[in-house]
A and B are shown apart, each in its own frame.
Chain A
Amino acid sequence: MSSHSAPQPRSPMAPPQSFLWSRRIFLSLLTVFVVLPVFVMVSSSLKPLQDVSGKFQWIPSGLTIRPYFDIWETVPLADYFLNSLIVAGSATVLSVVIAVFAAYAVSRYEFRGKRVFTVTVLSTQMFPGILFLLPLFLIYVNIGNATGIALFGSRAGLILTYLTFSLPFSIWMLIGYFDSVPRDLDEAAKVDGCGPLGALFRVIVPAAIPGIVAVAVYAFMTAWGEVLFASVMTNESTRTLAVGLQGYSTQNDVYWNQIMAASLVVSVPVVAGFLLLQRYLVTGLTAGAVK
């Protein structure tokens, strides 16, 4: 809020020079630190191969967009992309729908076990992934052997896993958004003959669209960037970008310009989405800690 209004001095006195200079120096150094990898990623992706295989060069000997085309041949990037899109997309849609129902229940109803539910769900977020990686692997393998439903190595297994990763935070964020929709609105809708679900989808969901979009972006980012489970739960044909690119980058002879191009391509959608919606996301992400 304060960022939109005119400059508001914190105190009637102007800050002293020592403060202003500390601020200038600190923020400049921090900016260099933050920007450096981004600079390397962008500039290297436009360099010819000899520039990235020899000594590092600040100024490229020439600019080329070839890496952006070659990388699709070097690694099956299109396959990785498709797998990541399917997995992250499905996990996002399912996670948002399930979170909307759960958040509606918590926000609008009183029931026994409500507090237990919210606390338990949130605390699962805090446990290390390695803890349930081994057992989940066993469960998926055994479900596959017993029923023939292939969860291990399949996209379905990964979708199922990822959607639960983003679920706790999504529910938490949506409870906040739903709470901010005035209760009178859905009470009025119920008086007009809407059922509980009618009130949810006709009144609350439309009013909380920014929050739902923010949750969707968060869920997509979570699934898009996950490495640990993808490295165990996928095979050749279901490999996601995270595992595919990681695997290629740790080989011996790496075409760094191509992999920087690939990294940039896979980053742009999520970074753009995050930055465009940062206001909504930040509100949701920080609400839990600050309140």
Chain B
Amino acid sequence: MTTTAAPDHTGARTAPKDNPGAAPRKRRSGRLRRISLPYLLLLPAVLLELLVHLVPMIIGIVVSFRELTQFYLRDWTTAPWAGLDNYALAVDFDAPVGQALLKSFVTTCIFTVASVALCWFIGTAAAIFMQENFRGRGFLRTLFLVPYALPVYAAVITWAFMFQRDNGLVNHVIHDQLGLTDSPPFWLIGENSFITLLVVAVWKGWPFAFLIMMAGLQNIPREIYEAAALDGAGVWQQIRRITLPSLRPVNQVLVLVLFLWTFNDFNTPFVLFGKSAPESADLISIHIYQSSFQTWNFGTGSAMSVLLLLFLLVVTGLYLLFTSRGRKATDV
């Protein structure tokens, strides 16, 4: 990293600083130094982002057009070109691979909508209820940040324990204590695993919405509420007429971030279910992971990743287009 920076850097530094006869040169090297300095400061960050994010993304796109199996792993550049075969395989919804991908995609969409809606609702409601001071407010606020602060795996492992069929807390309550079911249900395999995943994801995700909403509420001027109260508006009316509309710009960013994080969530299903998630909770990230690292067919895996990226870009673009309509471009 630093070696690339060296020539430029020393060039600027060894400029004849105190040479009395070279006033014009001095000024020019000073300017050169001034111009190049911000780039030098940025260089490590840029190089690392290139190495870990941008270059892999480009390679991923290239690989998606190749037939990359385990035989070519040692040097991926020798893998034969496959044209659009990988994509054809991924979107052939009559064949098993395409069918499974489509199913995983639909599952992910339903999961994302449900999870984002719940996280948003709980976070917003909690923030509005905690807008005014009351006894214990500070303590609750700190407590509500715990799910956000806990390492994902520690929290999710605990949930996995709670959802165990024979010795978990959930079945103890609903079967043994409340008698709601005939036999203790399975939560980590089969149909129920979707609910399990949703509960854990919401538990983990809502504090972020809460944080953002709390910050958004602080920006609403008090005078508006006072004026509304003088005009006879009750608390509920104030929430509907003042609080919620004022939060709209914050909402725009929050919903987008929640959407992207939830749609791409890998950690929660992976820690909850292990390497192969049950079909009803087979989120797209874990699906791609599994189809790449179990069959070592990186070409198809990359094609699926590229499709995912395209989908996210289109959704994000449309979302920003629709939500920003009528607002100034500078607000975005």
Contacts and interface: CB of A to CB of B under 8 A. Distances in A.
A246 B145 contact: no
Contacts of B229: 11-13
Given A10-B222, A128-B312, A101 B44 contact: yes
Given A266-B154, A267-B154, A270-B149, A104 B52 contact: no
Interface residues of B, number: 110
A231 B254 contact: no
Nearest to A128: B264
Interface string A5-17: 0011111110110
A215 B247 CA distance: 27
Interface string A180-213: 0000000000000000100000000000000000
A128 B53 CA distance: 10
A121 B47 CA distance: 11
Nearest to B144: A34
A167 B309 CA distance: 21
Interface residues of A, number: 105
A75 interface: no
Main secondary structure of the interface of A (DSSP, over half): helix
A147 interface: no
B149 A102 contact: no
B44 A3 contact: no
Contacts, number: 311
B37 A227 contact: no
A101 B41 CA distance: 5
B274 to A, nearest CB: 4
A22 interface: yes
Contact of A227 (B153, B219, B225, B316): B153
Interface string A254-282: 00100110011011001100110010001
B250 interface: yes
Given A11-B228, A242-B151, A34 B146 contact: yes
- Top 10 nearest A-B pairs (CB, nearest first) are A11-B229, A128-B264, A135-B56, A286-B215, A132-B56, A274-B149, A105-B41, A56-B172, A225-B151, A109-B38
Given A26-B129, A126-B316, A278-B142, 16 more contacts: A1-B218, A23-B134, A27-B140, A37-B155, A37-B162, A52-B161, A102-B45, A117-B46, A132-B53, A134-B305, A245-B154, A260-B158, A287-B215, A290-B215, A290-B216, A290-B250
